[in-house]
Amino acid sequence: RGADLGGANLRGADLGGANLGGANLRGANLYGAYLYGANLGGAYLYGANLGGAYLRGANLCGAN
């Protein structure tokens, strides 16, 4: 929770069920990442690449 992953290359990563609430993901590459059921509530996603990401069941409440 609250991790700093800004600019990280997480392309295709399996983050299913991960708790990334409040994380800094600014500019991160999450292309094709598996985020099924992940908690991204309150995460900072400005400039992040979420193209092709699997977001079913993910919590994005309060993410920006």
CATH of the domain at 15: 2.160.20.80
Question: Tokens standing for 44?
Answer: 């900072």
Residue that wins the pLDDT comparison between 2 and 30: 30
pLDDT of residue 2: 83
Burial 37-56 (b: 16+ CB within 10 A, else e): ebbbbbbbbeebbbeebbbe
62 pLDDT band (50/70/90 cuts)? very high
The answer on pLDDT for 1 being more than 90 is no
Q: How many domains does the chain have?
A: 1
Average pLDDT value over all residues in the chain:
97
Domain that holds residue 10: 1-64
pTM of the prediction?
A: 0.91
What's the whole-number mean pLDDT along residues 15-33? 98
